[in-house]
Amino acid sequence: NSQAKLLKLSHQSALKHHMLKHTGQKDHVCETCGKRCGHASALQNHKRVHTGKKRGERPACDECGKTFTSASRLKRHTIIHTENKPYGCSHCGKEFNNPSNLKAHALTHRSTKMFGCNVCGRRFSQSAGLKQHKQLHVGKFKCKVCGKGFTLKHKLLKHERQHRSGETGSGGSAEETDQIQNQSNL
The CATH number of whichever domain residue 62 belongs to comes to 3.30.160.60
Do 9 and 78 have their domain in common? no
Cβ partners under 8 Å of residue 127, min gap 6: 115
Do 97 and 146 have their domain in common? no
pLDDT tens-digit readout, 55-106: 667 778 877 778 888 878 888 788 777 778 888 999 899 988 888 888 888 8
pTM metric for this prediction: 0.32
Q: What is the predicted pLDDT for the residue at 168? A: 53
Share of the chain above pLDDT 70, in %: 78
- Total domains, the chain: 3
Do 75 and 117 have their domain in common? yes
Parent domain of 102 = 58-137
Q: What is the predicted pLDDT for the residue at 181? A: 39
Which of these three, 35, 51, 67, is where a domain ends? 51
- Rounded to the nearest integer, the mean pLDDT of the chain is 75
Do 131 and 145 have their domain in common? no
Q: Which amino acid is at 132?
A: Q
182 backbone dihedrals φ, ψ, rounded to 5°:
-65, -40
* C-alpha Rg value of the chain to the nearest Å: 28
Do 148 and 175 have their domain in common? yes
pLDDT tens-digit readout, 108-136: 887 778 889 888 888 888 888 888 888 77
CA atoms within 13 A on the CB side of 138: 9
Worst-scoring range by mean pLDDT, 3-12, 41-50, 171-180?
A: 171-180
Do 78 and 38 have their domain in common? no
